[in-house]
Amino acid sequence: MEYHTSTEDRRVGTGIAGLDELLQGGYPKGSVTLIAGTPGTGKTIVCFQYLDTGVKNKEKCLFLTSDERIDNLVNQANKLGFNFDGAVKSGQLKFLYLDLEKHTVHKDMEDEIRMGKYSRVVLDSLTPLSEMPVWVVNRGSEIIPVGDTMVNTPLPLDSIQATRMHVRRLLRILEEDACTALVTSEITEGSRNLSRDSVSEFLVDGILVLDLDPSMDRRKLTVRKMRGTKHTLKPRDIEITSKGGIRIL
Ligand SMILES: Nc1ncnc2c1ncn2[C@@H]1O[C@H](COP(=O)(O)OP(=O)(O)OP(=O)(O)O)[C@@H](O)[C@H]1O
Ligand SMILES: [Mg+2]
């Protein structure tokens, strides 16, 4: 199959067998895609496959996690057939724990992405970050985590504006032209929203939704949106195996 190769339409391989074909070659270069799903639907596995492909292409890759146990994450990847040890040792792949207690968490993330010259970045997951308490100061020109003492005119923390500003700020960090990013988002069971913050789905370039049908013992993947891409909206059956993760059936 032939794909467009103009600058504005370059694609980045997803690493998921059958998904590149559904996306005219992969994720649009420079885009941010939300990987949304209820617990256990395979969001982290989508990220592993994405970074594994990057590693194989000799690209610089970053896995940002809000989970302290990076060892567990690497073990989990191993069990699915991904061996990241070599890439981590050589510095081609970095796992970075984002400490939400630290009031420099945004800046840490920003600095790492700017300085690291990564071409593939994953944030797993956006949900705890988007839910952390923040102060919106200087009429929204700045967002700072609570705990910083230099606070003036804060917006109410539970306001939709505050959440929207905070999520926008987080996503903007990932919108660096040079990198193509995936961000996972937890959907609450039974909710019709695609994220718990209910705004990130509007701010990203693409959305993949992962689903389970326990009664049929089936898993599904749906492309809900993808900037500049003609794609089907039909849910596709997928399977997860220990030999490389998710594949489209
Ligand atoms: N080796 C395997 N073979 C088949 N299925 C597996 C294997 N390993 C994991 N799974 C399935 O993948 C699921 C975990 O996938 P993953 O961790 O990507 O989900 P997640 O959406 O990130 O979950 P969470 O919301 O808890 O972070 C498991 O619940 C299991 O159903
Ligand atoms: Mg996960």
In-domain check, residue 18:
no
Domain with 160, as residue range(s), is 30-248
In-domain check, residue 109:
yes
- Cβ-count burial 54-74 (b if 16+ within 10 Å, e if not): bbeeebbbbbbbbeeeeeebb
Domain count, the chain: 1
Instruction: Please name which ligand lies nearest the alpha carbon of 123.
Output: 2
CATH value at residue 87? 3.40.50.300
Cis peptide before 125 (omega within 30 of 0): yes
Three-state secondary-structure class, residue 167: helix
Q: What is the pLDDT of residue 68?
A: 80
In-domain check, residue 2:
no
In-domain check, residue 21:
no
Q: 68 C-alpha vs ligand 2 centroid, how far in Å?
A: 13
Q: What is the pLDDT of residue 182?
A: 98
Distance CA 152, CA 144 (A): 11
Q: What is the pLDDT of residue 163?
A: 81
Closest residue CA from atom 28 of ligand 1: 40
Residues with CB under 6 A from ligand 1: 37, 39-45, 79-80, 186, 240-242
Closest residue CA from atom 5 of ligand 1: 240
Ligand 2 ion: nearby residues, β-carbon < 5 Å: 43-44
In-domain check, residue 20:
no
Torsion of CA 81, 86, 89, 90, to 10 degrees: -130
pLDDT in tens, the chain (249 residues): 445 555 557 999 999 999 999 999 999 999 999 999 999 999 999 999 999 999 999 999 999 999 889 999 999 999 999 999 999 999 999 999 999 888 788 889 999 999 999 999 999 999 998 888 776 666 566 666 666 555 555 555 567 777 888 899 899 999 977 899 999 999 998 888 999 888 899 999 999 999 999 999 999 999 999 999 999 999 999 999 999 999 999
In-domain check, residue 217:
yes
Closest residue CA from atom 15 of ligand 1: 42
In-domain check, residue 235:
yes
In-domain check, residue 13:
no
Instruction: Please name which ligand lies nearest the alpha carbon of 186.
Output: 1
